[in-house]
Structure 1
Amino acid sequence: MAATTLSKHSSSSLSGSVFLITSDGRILNLPIPSRSSRDPLNWCAWKRSCAFLALMVFGIVGLVIIQAPSLMVTELSEEFTTEDMKPFRIDVLVSAPTLLLGIGAFIWIPLSLAVGRRPVFLLCSGILTGATLWAGITKSFYQLLVAVCLQGLASGIATSTMLLMIIDITFIHQRPHGISAFWSLVGSMSLVCLSLVPEVVRLGSTWHTFYLVWTIPSLAAFLLAFFFYPETYFYRPAVAFDGRVLMQSATEKVEIYQDWEEVPGGKALPQLPEKSKLVASVKELRLWGTIEGGWKSMLACYPQILMCVLNPLIFWVSILNAVAFGGMLSIGITYPTLLAAPPYSLPVGAIALVNMGAVVGALLAWPASGIMIARITRRLSMRNGGVRHAEYYLPAFVLPILSAAASVILYGLAGERKWHWIWVYVSYMLNTFGFVGLATANTLWITEAFPRWAAAAVAIVGGGSYVISFGISFAILPWIKSQGFARANIEIGVLTLVVGLVLIPVAFWGKSLRQYIHGRWAINEGGALRPQQTN
């Protein structure tokens, strides 16, 4: 008997659409967990929480370290002369990590498909720790530059591969909460730590102190990764359920078979139980495991990345993210000089507290991007007979786009017209709210709309947008110089709104375009949300 795909009451035929809510309002735990102990969806709440903690700590430490040079420019300029830095300038220590942050996405995501998430996580944690220690002890500008570049490269996992790692350990309905919590907590806590950077430097009387002190959190992040994050890249086998066999595809569809003989690849071999929990726990600490697909999946990811560049529904998100990050750079690069100059003339400590306003924005983005969008998608799914389409995540873009645009417009007007300094703090708060919310919306949309291309799509948005923003960073100051402070920022805000308006045609015609793209090009499942075991 041929396999039959569950209809509206089990799954939609369109990739990116899933039957998620039953007629009585019960949310299904999809994908269905297997019986394997390696399946992260089988983990208890405590084990999953520890894994999430390991991800979050690394994200916080990495973002603090790569942003710290922007708060230590004065101290760095005092130590290195123009001759020491030729052919570079001191600001390369601020901009170079951003470029490497983007490049890291194109390395770590494909590599995680070949060797697994855990080895890549440990590798990045080790690089970050070693590079931070190196930065603390070196007295050479060129060695410091290499060290901060390695920090940026390692931290690239936080804005790319870690999003897939969060998806690995969550059910479909938990993703908005998990992704928004990660972005919100990592963003807010890293900003709190950044506000303390000037004090750490002042106490040690040198920028070396910061890197030596932060070698300790970097090492702690490595230890958390080693002990609390087992491998989560799991090929989902067919499972027996209610007298039938259910096979879940990489797009999270479910097909029903009457017996194992009909299942492609046959019945998976049973996993032998370990002799004890201790033995199982020790095996989870292996540095290297066996990943089905391996290097073939890695090589297949790069053509998918190219296809994602040509995919308008993904390329749009990448451009939107880059423009929004450009607005954040405009504020981040100029606010220290603005607040230090008359009529504000604020001390360094007070200027650093701008980050505390941004903390508020990041924390507010959690309920706005996680809880709210989860409720919206639930309501829309209920109205659609329990089927959730990827387009139901599009409302998550509205508030972040408006907030990101309003923040730079407000900042430009406040800076040029010398409004009260509180408006600078408010604009940074709105900007952070918009950026965190946008990061959550981006991740949900690209991974749910194109589940087979999830890895490649995250690489484009998480990597490509940061590479583009690196180029934008060099244009910010010349732009302001030629257009004026207010006009340049207003133009960035308007550009954010214009790119954001693409949301309207995507909402109307995105589903049809997705169906066309999936039917024509989506073949390889190596980088999918839930890779399927076929043999």
Structure 2
Amino acid sequence: MAEKSDFPDLATIASAHHIENEKRAYTAHDSGHIEGNALLVNRQGKVRKIPIPSSDPNDPLNFKPWEKYGLVFCCCWFSIMGLSVASGLGAILNVFYMMYIPQGFESDQVVLLITLPTLFIGLGNYIILPLSLAYGRRPIFLISVLVLLAASIAAALQNSYYGHLVSRILQGIATGASESLLPLMLTEVTFLHERAFIFGLYWMVQNAISSSLNLASSYINADLGWRWYYWVFTITVGVGLIVAFLLGFETQFTRPAASLDGQLIITDEFGVTTVIPDAEAQAYLEEMSRSGLTPPNTGNPAQDIERKAYVERLRPWPKPSSQPLRVILLSWKYMIASFSSPGILYAVLTSSITLGCSVGMSLTYNQVLMQYHWEAKDIGLINVGGVIGAVLGMLYCTFLANPFVLWMARRNRGIHQPEHHLITMAPPAVIGVGMLLLYGFTAGGGATWWGPYLSWTIFQYSFTAVIIISTTFASEAAPKHPGPALVTVVGTKNIISFGVTYGLTPMIEEHGYKWAFGVLAGLFGGIFLLGIPVCIWNPKWRAYVAEREARKGTTTTD
């Protein structure tokens, strides 16, 4: 966001992959370089500002500071409200048990009011991102806000279970923008060295403020009734629609390729930034054409273009892609192809089990705390712990994990390997296992309410840290098309976590909390232990991909 490098300089993050070397970038077959590694620190110890802005005043990288910060604000506002309303029923779930079970519905059907929105947040990623690539970021963003607003109104007015459930599903689909489209928009207005800070802030704010809002849900229900839970979010989402219309500028931009110190910097239509030697540029551009991507111009013809007026930029519908169907199909193709990477599979599994365990706790803490004689209106206070945990996770990633990764790069002669991130997952993984066991052994009663409360609080530290680290790792782990790979991780985690939570209620009813959360703790720990072989296999996989591309006559680092 700022012109000077005043943010944590973890350069390789969120849909960007690059190799930076003052002399040249080596290919895997001639020097042993593995594609996906990055020379994170140059000889002066500084990180360059990449991508290089064009001379076009409408380039998102040339936005004025108030425009960039305004865009960040409206993205954060939507993600907070969407995730809060879609996943915040835990504190008042008992109300819906009392409402729908007498009508003949089972408890696991009532639980779907929480778990299905989580599933459809993931599915929404696979719908919203391709549409935004084909038709523009701004119109799809505004449509997502409108759908969330309409679904919140519908949920507040519902009298039937099925109408309520459909409204919740629509809320989930619309909220999918918060984990796909909005990160892409933030990527397109920031430099590489700024993204560690911006995305860490984005994920932390989501978790912390949504927990703060959900803290009030049980009090709203006690004083005004459950419908006002939705009416409050209807008001806030309505405000968000106005903010998005005024500040949610279009960020899709075809930036000309730029040359820097003998290297060509290219940003493709998926927002992926690539740095390659000039000598390999022609072969790389030809490979882009063969793969179906649109190669950028190698010139910078925007010298005389005038800056669009503010009113003109408020137009909801920019010019769509010339081949929208091709862009949509390509995005799905690259998302599917990313599953061939061991690193991507690992990022999917770690983020999925972490989200699944967090949702599992939220499904049960209502009844657990009432066993410890909490009043129904006070259940929302557990979300104070969610705020604390989210802040701790953000602080860990910003002041411990990111500097550690940078330190590892310096020890490795300035070369950053994506697998360095996996080491920083160890503390939140170990703590996460401990908190799941603590929750399981205290949730059934016979102890103190501090057990489930403390385990929820500290697990939110693990949740926030794992989500930030796994998405950062995912953006680097696959040398081909890290942008779609990142969306694959973010979207698929919601789908798999639905499977984790779907069977939790029957498991608790049959075996109890100790057994159910013991199983979750075992799965959680076992999945994180897979990081050891991934550290060994993923570099070899990246080397194999680079060697395969080298045999084709081109080096791919996107």
TM category (shorter chain) comes to 0.7 to 0.9
> Cα offset for 1:427?
0.5
Pairing 1:17-36 to 2, within 5 Å after superposition: 17-36=37-56
| Inter-partner Cα distance in structure 2 for 1:304 and 1:259 | 22
Name the counterpart of 1:286.
315
| 8 Å contact kept, 1:191–1:359 | yes
Residue 59 of structure 2 corresponds to residue 56 of structure 1: no
- Rounded to whole Å, the distance in 1 between the matches of 2:25 and 2:463 is 33
Name the SS for the 2:41 alignment partner.
Answer: coil
Task: Say whether 1:208 aligns with 2:266.
Answer: no
Partner of 2:375: 347
- Structure-2 separation of matches of 1:118 and 1:213: 25
Provide the rounded CA distance (Å) in 2 between the counterparts of 1:88 and 1:487.
19
Question: Greater CA deviation, 351-360 or 408-417?
Answer: 408-417
1:118 alignment partner, one of 124, 138, 150? 138
Instruction: Quote the residue 2:157 is aligned against.
Output: 137
Equivalent-residue separation in structure 2 for 1:36 and 1:271 (angstroms): 5
Matches within 5 A, 1:100-249: 100-204=120-224, 206-239=225-258, 246-248=264-266
How far the C-alpha of 1:511 sits from its partner, in A, is 1.5
Distance in 1 (CA, whole Å) between partners of 2:26 and 2:247 is 36
SS at match of 1:248: strand
Q: CA deviation at 1:335?
A: 1.6
1:503 aligns to what?
A: 531
Contact 1:8 1:385 in 2 (8 A): no
Partner residue of 1:329 out of 342, 349, 359: 359
**Counterpart position of 1:92:** 112
2:338 is the counterpart of 1:308: yes
* 1:83 CA displacement: 4.7
- Please say if residues 305 and 459 of structure 1, whose CA atoms lie closer than 8 Å, have aligned partners that are also in contact: yes
**1:258 CA displacement:** 13
Q: Deviations over 1:200-237 (max 9, x none)?
A: 22222x22222122211101222222222222233331
Q: How does 1:347-496 map to 2 (within 5 A)?
A: 347-416=375-444, 418-450=446-478, 452-496=480-524
Task: Tell me how far 1:330 sits from its aligned partner.
Answer: 2.7
The one-letter amino acid paired with 1:496 is: F
Aligned CA RMSD, in angstroms, stands at 3.1
Q: Which residue of 2 aligns with 1:255?
A: 277
Which residue does the alignment assign to 2:348? Answer: 318
The C-alpha deviation readout for 1:110-131, integer Å capped at 9, x for no partner, is: 2222122222211111110111
Which stretch shifts more, 120-129 or 71-80?
Answer: 71-80
Q: Tell me the CA shift for residue 97 of structure 1.
A: 1.1
Question: Residue 15 and residue 40 in structure 1: after superposition, are their counterparts in 2 closer, same or farther (change >3 A)?
Answer: farther
In 2 relative to 1, CA 12–334 (structure 1 residues): closer, same or farther, beyond 3 Å?
farther
Task: Return closer, same or farther for 1:529/1:108 CA change in 2, 3 Å cut-off.
Answer: farther
Is 1:338 paired with 2:368? yes
The CA distance in 2 between the partners of 1:213 and 1:116, in whole Å, is 30
Deviation at 1:433, TM superposition (A): 0.9
Does the aligned pair in 2 maintain the 1:251–1:452 contact within 8 Å? no
Q: Distance in 1 between matches of 2:459 and 2:260?
A: 48
**In terms of mean alpha carbon deviation, does 492-501 or 326-335 score higher?**
326-335
The normalised TM-score by structure 1 is 0.87
Which residue is 1:41 aligned to?
61
Determine if contact 1:274/1:280 at 8 Å carries over to the other structure.
no
Letter paired with 1:170:
T
Counterparts of 1:87 and 1:493, CA distance in 2: 24
Q: Deviations over 1:210-269 (max 9, x none)?
A: 212221110122222222222223333122557x78443645214337999x99776446
What's the CA shift for 1:432? 0.9
User: Helix, strand or coil: the match of 2:481?
Assistant: helix
> Does the 8 Å contact 2:257/2:297 carry over to 1?
no
Q: Distance in 1 between matches of 2:280 and 2:122?
A: 47
37-46 or 54-63: bigger deviation: 37-46
Gaps of 5+ in 2: 1-18, 28-33, 287-295
Corresponding residue SS for 2:459: helix
2:256 and 2:300 in contact (8 A); partners too: no
Q: Which residue of 1 aligns with 2:13?
A: none
| SS of alignment partner, residue 252 of structure 1 | strand
Give, as a single letter, the amino acid of the residue that structure 1 aligns with 2:266.
Answer: Q
* Residues in 2 aligned to 1:299 and 1:11: alpha-carbon distance in whole angstroms: 31
SS at the partner of 1:91? Answer: helix
Q: Following TM superposition, by how much is the alpha carbon of 1:480 offset from its aligned partner in structure 2, in angstroms?
A: 2.5
Alpha carbons of structure 1 residues 427 and 162: separation in structure 2 relative to 1, 3 Å: same
